[in-house]
Structure 1
């Protein structure tokens, strides 16, 4: 019965994805934009309106989300076959897709919050799906980081009460003149960078790997982490030529660098792919801050194609290695599972930007457009160096999983799971041909980029530099006993200590302070002045009263004699 549920939802999502894709083509060719307003409630001068914006951007993105969701559903049919609570898993994934659907369709802050908050809450339920302490800690870190973004959206909603409407696209003309509207834009950008895990809110994204692998394939390709990027693409008209984009550019460059360096020192298979997602999110935000929103959206689509396939391959590899995620135990998998490694290699090469794969068309175009802007040498170097680091950690991952000898049990049956690989076949085709297909659809007006020959080959040069950097970092691990190299390893491998700074640092301060308050107040002065102090005083009075009652005759005779003695003296 459960397997039929998986197959039913797979068919439903797949056909709905095809319908949305053809609708997106129609709207793109006809250059149509349809806005639908539905007034839910009107209170005094404010109306809560559900605003739906239908254009080719929303249709193409919904089509891709539903396509990847359908593949994940079919994949989960076999991946989650041994789990007990499969019905709960199916409904959580469907609610997750519905939340993303609500968020994509509407540029109204009220209706965005429905999907935005739903994404955060359901992601928490999915991260803690496996009931253990690590999942609980990861889930709490995920939902608290995302809650910051929810609070920013709520503050923007409250502030926009002054303007009479929550449809931000109506206020493009006054953004340059009104300082308060710029403050609302800052809140929206802060909400977006928490959801898309930019610095300093990056620590939750690798921690969310505690969720099942099908969820990771969905979250890190087209839903949760891309929600912030999509939100800024929608509101980009308001952010044009503002100082906010300069801050966003610096944060995104730092995120690219941090994620690329951390992935080169990580040994967890899923965390390496998660950090590559973080690096690509930084790249999207960087290009978006240059006001190239269509190019950013193009990379958002191409990245989702191969990143979901990479996570699915990682899930099969983890199953084959008896739920082990350490890449140091893997190796020589190409002899045991050639079809799986073929998919894995295509995804890795597309991630690197190998010519004529899906990632090449967007990354090459973004890099060449970046060269048109007048940046100083520092930003220029960090941007291209971060792109080179993508090749470095991909090469390292391929060396550990393909070229090295297997370091796991000597008696281990590894074989291709054809049923799970079938679910990745369409994503494999999209990783091969999806980039060129989307290029012809989105950029039907040809863009001719004329660059000096050194600039034209700049991307390939830095890819080769990243290749050498990967080999150097791989050799650097041999000197790990040296204290300096150990510090570098810990600093880069722990995401610039961000998980410690934003979890342990705050919790350590509050736990230390609460322990001090416990000793000083709860176990100290409040006990002295409160319950224990009153108890001791009442016990003293009770003992005194008991003493009087037990010595009543003695006291009476003593007082009588004392009275007679006093009368004798004074009279």
Structure 2
């Protein structure tokens, strides 16, 4: 049995790592030769509609494939130790592989039907993974996740049904029509809502922190390169159609609010995994915002670099939680830099990359994004959202480092902290290297060249000013006492800490209302009138007819004599 488990891990790891290596080689070839590969496989033709599978290989899709497969291979290697006590480990690995396969199908598709296959596969498998630890919290989180993602699935189905009028679902063929025809505006609205649900933008943000009920390797994969990035990737593909329209303005507003809300909430959260989840939500808002401003390559650049250090961040969190006997409250941590130096190295580097520390992966994308915002002609509101949210990133990052690594230890009297696990540390150091070099490598080798960004001295140092302001804000929030004398201040604290009450509104305002309505419909229709007029009525009718037939069959001689006598009496009377 142990040999079989090791074989599954080894085969999955080797194949995924090999695919990632081939992916980066193919990507460099496409960039150097300025090539794009388009493969179309016709499945069936029906009523002048072609049902085809379309695979589109350009530098963007192939590089994202490299990111997904590399992180997936490291996550599976990490899971070998993290999930070593799991009985049904084969089922876990198969679910992870199905998850990766769905994402790869979505990455290379240009057809809305094949995109829907990958999109729906991500939603269904993520539900199975969120409820993997079968308890009430996991079931509630899984239900919230799958119902929120279902809205996006319905929107894509409606877009598919609308595009049947064009005779094909390949949106690349109809780029001119999509930008000219007025009725195509509705298809783009449906695609935008679908992307907002999958990438957890306001008002669909509640499911992303709730999905933390999944095992930590799953969280590492979901929050870095697969599920939550699917919406951003879909909008990247549709960017040329929505740029300059009211759709991009609405999406910019929602993404900016998401970025601000997640940054504020992370500063008042004490659950280690939820802080990192809210960090992901903030970065997704940043990607969506810069995408709506028209910088498609910059959004993809940050998407790729963010995936590396966010996967590493979750891996560090998983090892810390294991050593803390499954305790996730950062108030009961401290001094981990002394007792777990290897984990602290990875944790520090990934957090600094998230903040945009110079020459780490996050610096190249984040600094470029903020300078492009300064260089462009946008209003003060956009400026505030971008820079204040960047300051909040530094704030909650420093707060997390202070509570977990540098504060005095606040754990039990007897404890044993070990960070010498070969599989976990090995996978983490692999991603550590990528968190350091991936930004510079992509900037120099793969990303198309940008014009020189020329700013004055004040604007150049404005990014650093906001970073230092965020650092001071993190020190202030870390020192705040939770017991407030002023009720109003405490209410504001609770408001920010609970994501502006979006989870409560999602659960009690939408999902609970829908579930209660479905219970009433089941009671009054399925179990009520439909049963009375449908199945139950037919059953009672057939039962009465069968009883008559059965009575006739069992009393045939007596009835024959009775009917003969009755007919004879009638004849005598007439």
Given the two structures, how large is their TM-score scaled by the length of structure 2? 0.88
Match of 1:129 in 2: 132
Which among 320, 334, 358 is matched to residue 331 of structure 1?
334
| Residue 451, structure 1, aligned to residue 437, structure 2 | no
1:76-115 pair list within 5 angstroms:
76-115=79-118
Q: Alignment partner for residue 344 of structure 1, among 347, 350, 356?
A: 347
1:497 correspondence with 2:501: yes
> Aligned pair in 2 of structure 1 residues 509, 408: CA closer, same or farther (>3 Å)?
same
| Residue 222 (structure 1) aligns with | 225
**Deviation at 1:391?**
0.2
Alignment of 1:193-208 (within 5 A): 193-208=196-211
In 2, the alpha carbon distance for the partners of 1:477 and 1:171 equals 58
| 2:468 is equivalent to residue 464 of structure 1 | yes
The question of whether the paired residues in 2 share the 8 Å contact of 1:169 and 1:237 is answered with no
Contact kept in structure 2, 1:318 and 1:324, CA below 8 Å: yes
Tell which deviates more after alignment, 111-120 or 170-179: 170-179
The whole-number CA distance in structure 2 between the counterparts of 1:311 and 1:248 is: 28
Q: How far, CA to CA, are the matches of 2:466 and 2:338 in structure 1?
A: 31
CA shift at 1:512, angstroms? 7.6
Aligned pair count reads 525
Aligned residue for 2:176, secondary structure, equals coil
In the alignment, the residues of structure 2 paired with residue 184 and residue 178 of structure 1 have an alpha-carbon distance, to the nearest angstrom, of: 11
- Separation (CA, whole Å) in 1 of partners of 2:301 and 2:379: 26
Residues 44-59 of structure 1: pairs in structure 2 closer than 5 A: 44-59=47-62
**Aligned partners of 2:386 and 2:190: how far apart in 1?**
26
Is the contact between residue 103 and residue 118 of structure 2 (CA under 8 Å) also seen in structure 1? Answer: yes
Residue in structure 1 matched with residue 549 of structure 2 by the alignment: none
Q: Specify which of 473, 488, 496 is matched with residue 484 of structure 1.
A: 488
Tell me the alpha carbon deviations over residues 518-562 of structure 1, each in whole angstroms, 9 at most, x when there is no partner: 99x89xx99xx99xxxxxxxxxxxxxxxxxxxxxxxxxxxxxxxx
Q: Residue 39 of structure 1: SS of its match in structure 2?
A: strand
Contact 2:335 2:404 in 1 (8 A): yes
**Alpha-carbon distance in 2 for matches of 1:516, 1:200:** 26
Alpha-carbon displacement from aligned partner over 1:385-427 (angstroms, at most 9, x marks no partner): 0010000000000000011122221111112133111111121
By how many angstroms is 1:240 displaced?
A: 2.4
Q: Give the match for residue 216 of structure 2.
A: 213
Please name the residue that 1:141 is paired with.
144
**Equivalent position of 1:322 in the other structure:** 325
Equivalent of residue 381 in structure 2, options 365, 378, 382: 378
Correspondence for 1:188: 191
Q: Return the offset for 1:151.
A: 0.5
1:489 shift after superposition = 1.5
Residues of 2 paired with 1:202 and 1:498: CA distance? Answer: 7
Q: For each residue in 1:148-171, what CA deviation from the matched residue of structure 2 results, as whole angstroms up to 9, or x when unmatched? A: 000000000000011111011122
Is it true that 1:289 corresponds to 2:292 in the alignment?
A: yes
* Partner of residue 400 from structure 1, selected from 396, 400, 403: 403
Residue 262 in structure 1 maps to residue 265 in structure 2: yes
Q: Which residue of 2 aligns with 1:556?
A: none
What's the CA shift for 1:509? Answer: 4.8
- Residues 301-336 of structure 1 show CA distances to partners (whole Å, capped at 9, x for unaligned) of 100010000000000000000111111111100111
Corresponding residue number in structure 2 for 1:440: 444
* Mapped partners of 1:103, 1:492: distance in 2: 35
Q: 1:176 to 1:135 in 2, by over 3 A?
A: same
Three-state SS of the structure 2 residue aligned to 1:42 is strand
1:169 and 2:172 are equivalent in the alignment: yes
Preserved CA contact (<8 Å) 1:155 1:187: yes
When Rg is computed on C-alpha atoms for both structures, the one with the higher figure is: 1
- So what's the TM-score if we normalise by structure 1? 0.89
Distance 1:48 1:508, change over 3 A: closer
Query: What residue number does 1:12 align with?
Result: 15
Q: Structure 1's 233 and 344: CA in aligned 2 closer, same or farther, altered over 3 A? A: same
